[in-house]
Amino acid sequence: MEMANYSNRQIEIINAATKLINGGGIQSLTTKALSESVGFSEPALYRHFKNKTEILSAMLQFYGQRLKEKINEIINDEGNGLFKLERIVKYQFDHFSRHPAIVMVIFAEASFQNDAMLSEKVKNLMSNKKSKVEAIIKMGQLDGSIRNDIDTEQLSPIFMGTMRFTILQWRMNHYKADLNHQGVELWETMHSMFAAENMK
Amino acid sequence: MEMANYSNRQIEIINAATKLINGGGIQSLTTKALSESVGFSEPALYRHFKNKTEILSAMLQFYGQRLKEKINEIINDEGNGLFKLERIVKYQFDHFSRHPAIVMVIFAEASFQNDAMLSEKVKNLMSNKKSKVEAIIKMGQLDGSIRNDIDTEQLSPIFMGTMRFTILQWRMNHYKADLNHQGVELWETMHSMFAAENMK
Amino acid sequence: MEMANYSNRQIEIINAATKLINGGGIQSLTTKALSESVGFSEPALYRHFKNKTEILSAMLQFYGQRLKEKINEIINDEGNGLFKLERIVKYQFDHFSRHPAIVMVIFAEASFQNDAMLSEKVKNLMSNKKSKVEAIIKMGQLDGSIRNDIDTEQLSPIFMGTMRFTILQWRMNHYKADLNHQGVELWETMHSMFAAENMK
Amino acid sequence: MEMANYSNRQIEIINAATKLINGGGIQSLTTKALSESVGFSEPALYRHFKNKTEILSAMLQFYGQRLKEKINEIINDEGNGLFKLERIVKYQFDHFSRHPAIVMVIFAEASFQNDAMLSEKVKNLMSNKKSKVEAIIKMGQLDGSIRNDIDTEQLSPIFMGTMRFTILQWRMNHYKADLNHQGVELWETMHSMFAAENMK
DNA sequence: AATGAATGAGACTTCATTCAT
DNA sequence: CATGAATGAAGTCTCATTCAT
């Protein structure tokens, strides 16, 4: 996975594209709309990206990278596994509530489906995150903070699925709720379910 | 929600559309592709549906209705709440593994976003299901089968999110895994987490 | 010009077509709209008319015939030429104010232009009427009621053009004015201009 | 009424559209025919006009503006009212005989009827011209050149209707007659009828 | 680096008409 | 006599992309 370095213009375009997609789905990301949104002409887009797919690809790279870095940071920081999970929940909910436009890109599995390359990229993003989460859970089970009566592979979809679902609902209700607050509540519940002390 | 009655031709079209969407996302549902897939000319589609949106709308109606009926049946059948949850998991995983084409329609939040009416329909479908699940959980908490140390509203997103995530992964891996088997494993875990006897 | 005899169904269709055209121009006369308006299916139209052109053709025939008969009646009745002109004005304004739907068909020169046959028919209708009016004017010039210092061929376009224009304006203002009243006023003026006693 | 400034390309398109309409009615103005006529592809039209309605709208604007300017010029020039009417007749007949393609656009009431905005524009064009003509007639009645025994409002439809009818007939006979010659004859007659000296 | 102009492909949809029943 | 189903042709318009300047 190449470590991309994006120019200012490219980042402008990525941001504009993100907003468009979040506002009206993939279908509203047209080169025309994008060029208007970013403030210069359509052909100019092609000076910064080879084609539309490359723009979408860059978006995924861009956000995926950030997420990966953050999770790595969390992994390497101090604290037991359970605490790390908590940090992931908090980070993500805070991040999304501050940048709602990103939500749809991260949740884009359905949208990119007609482009094998993009679809693959989304899949990688997700499985990447999943294996990181699993690593953390495993750590937690070893350090005694996370219950070990359930397999890691069984716990991770619960963690990830619940987060996704909460965010999805927030989006479908037009970002009205206080996502951070929901994150706090969600974590309380997850704590009850994941903490070692809750094993019977 | 009107109880629609679809003609044979309409159901043919709905099926063809479902397959197309599942194969390549909303973008691959064009009137041309649809007419080819169903075996007659493009204008003929318009004898059976007023326009493309109505086709998508019918798809949602069609699948939503079935799901609702099934859940109602489960609610009204015998058994405690925990058992009912189990039946939902089993039913859905079995249903999807037999009709993978439906997955994308049920998971279409992102896709329909540029059409307010469809978007609303998807949202209703989801919140409808969610409230049914919550009713079941509440029943389980009352009949003593489901732990009552966690609020119903906190348990439902765990249940629904986890299911969604599992199915989503199955789809992203091109339906290779045995979904039913995954359902069984998932249920074991859920049982550990939801059952009343597992409260500390 | 064949003396056509239209069946009841055909007349129903002609009436419906007339209303459609008057409501929204030729473009709103589609076989679909027509069949809906008349209350039976599209193919049924083809049992009564060979095709759409024949329907339009029948409309022109139908109204042209009536007009011709009426004018002939006026010609053959008693009274001098000036009086006959007056009767034409009164008849037409009264007729249109009672059947506004007909206006557009009679004024259809522009609409039928892409069909040579219909275009020719409209032209005949108009030139037919014009020559009748000229005959009346000539009669009036001979019987001393109409001024004879101006050629018949010069008077007729004034008569016909003014009538048309008045009706056109009435139509463009959505039939709001009292057409009969306008006819009376118009006639007063025409009388001043056409009557023999007004020659200098 | 905004003072529009059309690009060269836009004027090319307006001209081509005018010719098409005049040749075969509104129905023959298709984007395909227009693009062929103007020499580039259909989508290219949309770089110069937002949509087809805007093209028609521009045509009306374009011709209406010219007409208005000319009439204003005539109004402000020297000469009595009767002379001004004469100049209008001569100008129009000369103009149309040189640019027959314009006729249909100016006579388009019936054609544009299914588009409220265009219909309104045509109506304005006509009533605008009518009120200008009435202003001139009033001037003539005051300066003693035009008969004042008939109301201005009664004279204007005679003037306008007769002109329209003459031009209409010319068009229906496929522009065969010498329109300028007909204008001269028409004016002679109108002079007899409008001049003050012809009052009884 | 940027753009105005252009385009081939293809989207959805409507039209008049036909055919089997 | 009537219709449900179907269609070829054509309509308007949008898309991603290219090219000359």
Task: Write the pLDDT tens digit of every residue in C89-146.
Answer: 999 999 999 988 888 888 877 777 778 888 888 889 899 999 999 999 999 999 999 9
CATH number at residue B125: 1.10.357.10
Task: Say what the pLDDT of residue C3 is.
Answer: 53
Q: At A47, is the secondary structure helix, strand, or coil?
A: helix
Q: Is the pLDDT of residue C193 over 70?
A: yes
Query: pLDDT tens digits for B9-58?
Result: 999 999 999 999 888 888 899 999 999 999 999 999 999 999 999 999 99
Strand F interface, A 36-55, C-beta < 7 A? 42-43, 45-46, 51-53
Q: Which of C160, C163, C172 is opposite residue D109, by nearest beta carbon? A: C172
Q: Is residue A3 part of a domain?
A: no
Q: What's the CA–C1' distance between B32 and E10, in Å?
A: 10
Q: At B146, is the secondary structure helix, strand, or coil?
A: strand
Q: Which of C26, C122, C168 is opposite residue D109, by nearest beta carbon? A: C168
Q: Is residue A154 part of a domain?
A: yes
Task: Say what the pLDDT of residue C198 is.
Answer: 66
Contacts of C109 in chain D (CB under 8 A): 110, 168, 171-172
Answer yes or no: do C113 and D24 touch at CB < 8 A: yes
Q: Is residue B10 part of a domain?
A: no
Average pLDDT over residues D73-92: 96
Choice among A1-10, B151-160, C122-131, D92-101 with the minimum mean pLDDT: A1-10
Task: Say what the pLDDT of residue A47 is.
Answer: 93
Average pLDDT over residues A63-81: 93
Whole-number Å distance between alpha carbons of C53 and D109? 22
Q: At A29, is the secondary structure helix, strand, or coil?
A: coil
Residues in chain B: 200
Question: Which residue in D has a C-alpha nearest to residue C152's C-alpha?
Answer: D189
Answer yes or no: do A169 and B157 touch at CB < 8 A: yes
Rounded to the nearest integer, the mean pLDDT of chain A is 90
Q: Is the pLDDT of residue D4 over 90?
A: no
Residue nearest E7, CA–C1′ metric: D41
Which nucleotide lies nearest residue B29, CA to C1'?
A: E11
Strand F interface, B 2-21, C-beta < 7 A? 7, 9
Q: What's the CA–C1' distance between D76 and E12, in Å?
A: 53
Examine chains B and A and say if they touch (3+ CB pairs below 8 A).
yes
Q: How confident is the model at residue B1 (pLDDT cuts 50, 70, 90)?
A: very low
Which nucleotide lies nearest residue C29, CA to C1'?
A: E15
Answer yes or no: do A185 and B154 touch at CB < 8 A: yes
Distance from CA of D164 to the nearest CA of C (A): 7
Distance from CA of A152 to the nearest CA of B (A): 11
Task: Say what the pLDDT of residue D3 is.
Answer: 53
Answer yes or no: do A150 and B185 touch at CB < 8 A: no
Answer yes or no: do A110 and B197 touch at CB < 8 A: no
- Contacts of residue A41, defined as CB under 8 A and 6 or more positions apart, other chains included, come to A35
Average pLDDT over residues B64-82: 93
Cβ neighbours, 10 Å, residue A12: 16
Whole-number Å distance between alpha carbons of A41 and D123? 39
Q: How confident is the model at residue C199 (pLDDT cuts 50, 70, 90)?
A: low
Q: Is residue D128 part of a domain?
A: yes
Sequential DSSP letters for C104-148: HHHT-TTGGGG-HHHHHHHHHHHHHHHHHHHHHHHHHHHTTSB--
Whole-number Å distance between alpha carbons of B110 and A48? 27
- D164: CB within 7 A of chain E nucleic strand: no
- D25: CB within 7 A of chain F nucleic strand: no
Query: pLDDT tens digits for A129-150?
Result: 999 999 999 999 999 999 999 9
Average pLDDT over residues D52-72: 92
Cβ atoms of residues A59 and A14 within 8 Å = yes
Query: pLDDT tens digits for D127-143?
Result: 999 999 999 999 999 99
Q: Which of A25, A158, A160 is opposite residue B111, by nearest beta carbon? A: A25
Task: Say what the pLDDT of residue D52 is.
Answer: 95
Whole-number Å distance between alpha carbons of B54 and B2? 14
Whole-number Å distance between alpha carbons of A74 and A63? 17
Contacts of C171 in chain D (CB under 8 A): 109
Cβ neighbours, 10 Å, residue A77: 10
Which nucleotide lies nearest residue B44, CA to C1'?
A: F6
Tokens of A2: 């190449």
Answer yes or no: do D172 and C114 touch at CB < 8 A: no
Question: Which residue in A has a C-alpha nearest to residue B198's C-alpha?
Answer: A200
- A9: CB within 7 A of chain E nucleic strand: yes
Q: How confident is the model at residue A79 (pLDDT cuts 50, 70, 90)?
A: very high
Q: Which amino acid is at A84?
A: K
Question: Which whole-number Å values give the CA distances from B102 to B18, B107, B130, B171, D8, in the listed order?
Answer: 6, 9, 19, 11, 54
Residue B107 exposed, middle or buried by CB count within 10 Å (0-12, 13-18, 19+): buried
Q: Is residue B54 part of a domain?
A: no
Which nucleotide lies nearest residue B8, CA to C1'?
A: F5
Q: Is residue B181 part of a domain?
A: yes
- In strand E, the nucleotides that come within 7 Å of a protein beta carbon are 1-20
Q: Is residue D45 part of a domain?
A: no
Q: Which of B150, B157, B165 is opposite residue A160, by nearest beta carbon? A: B165
- Contacts of residue D92, defined as CB under 8 A and 6 or more positions apart, other chains included, come to D163, D167, D183
Q: Is the pLDDT of residue C2 over 50?
A: no
Between A51 and A1, the more confident residue is A51
Contacts of C24 in chain D (CB under 8 A): 113-114
Which nucleotide lies nearest residue A43, CA to C1'?
A: E3
Cβ atoms of residues C57 and C117 within 8 Å = yes
Q: Is the pLDDT of residue A2 over 50?
A: no
Query: pLDDT tens digits for C134-188?
Result: 999 999 999 999 999 999 999 999 999 999 999 999 988 889 999 999 999 999 9
Contacts of A28 in chain B (CB under 8 A): 114
Whole-number Å distance between alpha carbons of B142 and C172? 73
Contacts of C26 in chain D (CB under 8 A): 27, 110-111
Q: How confident is the model at residue D199 (pLDDT cuts 50, 70, 90)?
A: low
Task: Say what the pLDDT of residue B3 is.
Answer: 53
Q: How many domains does chain B have?
A: 1
Q: Is residue D24 part of a domain?
A: no
Contacts of A186 in chain B (CB under 8 A): 154, 157
**Phi-psi domain of B51 (left: phi exceeds 0; alpha: psi -120 through 50; beta: other):** beta
Whole-number Å distance between alpha carbons of D44 and C84? 58
Average pLDDT over residues C67-92: 95
Q: Which of B114, B126, B172 is opposite residue A25, by nearest beta carbon? A: B114
Q: Is the pLDDT of residue B200 over 60?
A: no
Q: Which domain holds residue D119?
A: 62-198
- B41: CB within 7 A of chain F nucleic strand: yes
